[in-house]
Each structure stands twice: as structure tokens, then as C-alpha cells.
Amino acid sequence: MRVLVTGASGTIGSALARALAARGDTVIGLSRNPARAAARLPQLDWHRWDPPAAPPRQALAGCDAVVNLVGERIDQRLTAAAKERIRTSRIDATNALVDALAALPDGERPRALVSQSAVGYYGDRGDEELTERSAPGDDFLARVCVDWERAAQRAEGAGVRVCVLRTGLVLDRSSGLLGRLLPIFRLGLGGRVGSGRQWMPWIHLEDEVGLLLWALDHEVHGTVNATAPNPVRNGEFTRTLARTLRRPALFPVPRAALALVFGGELAAVLVASQRALPARALEEGYRFRWPDLDGALEHLVGRSPR
């Protein structure tokens, strides 16, 4: 296949791009800085894109599929300016991408769009089990996800198959949540966050990439929760990570401390509870390589990675 990947220089995008290239697919990447991106991933054909401007037509034309992973990071103080960047980088960029897809002639238009969303769609839901049929939340990030998904789904009007992945907390040893926690836990300074009772919908990076490939290859439509089938509470996550590293976890982080460092709105996001389950992926035959947290963390950070 010929696949265009937006956000191809990020953690998920670069892992997906390498997986596509390894199986013989042609991968086109879009970046604000193609030269820098090419130095990191020279196997891609890079084009410049500065969203929310329209992406270059020559990059899109003739592709079989597009994977849309672009988006400003969430883990920052949610000031008015940050919120605007978060919305623009997701919603406006996706609208520009879909408009460009729709403008292509039928013979040049990609057949599929796999677009990123997040479990933030559900908001803070306590112990409620959340599947793809669950209603959205009503906080800032939930509203962003609703509008982001709506922007991607517009491509169906141009005859493009659309699959939206609501991604959980992606575990990778060198980035994201786990990348930030590892130095702290290795020093024996880790601990639960807030009450520790909030559910964490995690997923191993290999399964995140696996679900993206599965969505591309198996004509999957609609929304899919990209989360492991066994979510855990924050307290269990903390204990499992500490045990895997053979370190204590004695220093809980109160919510008040999070609010002091990150601001109250981001603190609420960090302690939000989402017991999201990958109902559709399991129903439709995706087999998780890392369904349980113990195995996932042992593979990522244990002493005997498999």
C-alpha cells in the first residue's frame, strides 16, 4: 500500500511508519520541518505541511490510505492559548485534511482514513465500563474529541472509509507517561496519584501500532477503543511498575500538589477515571499481544524483556 501518515515524527507515528515500511509499504510523511524529520526517518517520503493550511496535493494523490495522528500535546497547563492550540492542531488540521481528500478526483482519492481520537472522549466516569457505544463526556477534552471525530467522519461524504481510534495511555519506555515516570520510580520516589482509585486505560505501543495496521487492513469502520482489555486502577499501575523495577512506591502525589504544579484543569485530567474497554476490537478479532499490565511492563522495562 501507499500510506500517508500525519504526525509521522511522533512516538506513535514513527513506530507505525517503521512497521509499514518493514512490511514493504510506501510511507509518505507530513511535517512542518521535513528535513529534520527525514534525518530521523529517512525511509519516508517527506512533504511539508503547516496545518491548518491545506496539505500538499502531491502527497495525498494516489495514496491508498491516510493515517491522521497530528495533534498538540495535552500535558501542559490548559490556558486559553493552549486550549486554542490543542483544538486547532486537531480539529482545524483534520478539517483541512478531509477537505483536501474530498477535492481529489475519484481515481486519486485514498480509500480509507484512520484518524486518531482519545479516551478523553468519555470524560471522568468513575467505575463505569466504557465501550464505543458509551456517550461522550462534557469537559474540555471530551468536547475536543467529539469535534475531532466529527471532522474525520466528514470524509465519509467523499466515499472514504473512516475508522477513528480512541487511544488510551500509550506505554513506551522512552516517551509519554511511562517515559516520564521511569526516572522517578527508578529512584524509589514513585507513588500513586490522587486517591489511586481512578481507572487507567493503558495500551502497549506495539498494540497501538497493531490496531492501526488492523484498522487499515481489515476494512474497519466507525470508532474503536485503542486500549488494552484489562485496564487497571492507578494504585495497581503504581504497584506493578514499582514491582517490575524492584523499587518501593512510597510517595503519593496528592491532587492538590498536581493542581499547584499543572493548574486545576489539567490536574482534573490527570486523575480522571476512564474504564475504557476495547469491545469492538475484541468482537472483530484483534488479538492483543500485551493484554495484561504485568507482561507489558516486564517487556518494556523489566530486566528480561522479551
Across the range 1-21, mean pLDDT stands at: 96
Across the range 60-87, mean pLDDT stands at: 93
**Tens digit of each residue's pLDDT (9 = 90 or more) over 168-180:** 999 999 998 899 8
Q: Beta-carbon neighbour count of residue 287 at 10 Å?
A: 10
Range from 35-39, 134-138, 202-206 carrying the lowest mean pLDDT:
35-39
Q: Domain coordinates of the chain in residue numbers? A: 2-172+201-228+275-289
Across the range 246-251, mean pLDDT stands at: 91
Exposure string for 14-31, b = 16+ CB within 10 A, e = fewer: bbbbbbbeeeebbbbbbb
Q: d(Cα 267, Cα 67) in Å, to the nearest integer?
A: 30
Q: Are 137 and 195 in contact (CB under 8 A)?
A: no
Residue 304 clears pLDDT 60, i.e. is over it: no
Q: d(Cα 205, Cα 242) in Å, to the nearest integer?
A: 20
Our CA angle for 5, 7, 104, nearest 5°, is 45
Please, which pLDDT band fits residue 253 given cuts at 50, 70 and 90? confident
Tell me, what's the pLDDT at 265? 76
Our CA angle for 125, 294, 216, nearest 5°, is 70
Q: Are 68 and 94 in contact (CB under 8 A)?
A: yes
Tell me, what's the pLDDT at 254? 78
- Indicate the fold that domain 2-172+201-228+275-289 takes in CATH: Rossmann fold (3.40.50)
Tell me, what's the pLDDT at 306? 46
3-class secondary structure for 214-236? Answer: HHHHCCCCEEEEECCCCCEEHHH
Q: Helix, strand or coil for residue 80? A: helix
**Tens digit of each residue's pLDDT (9 = 90 or more) over 122-145:** 999 999 999 999 999 999 999 999
Residue 262 clears pLDDT 70, i.e. is over it: no
Q: Are 67 and 51 in contact (CB under 8 A)?
A: no
Tell me, what's the pLDDT at 303? 66
Tell me, what's the pLDDT at 305? 44
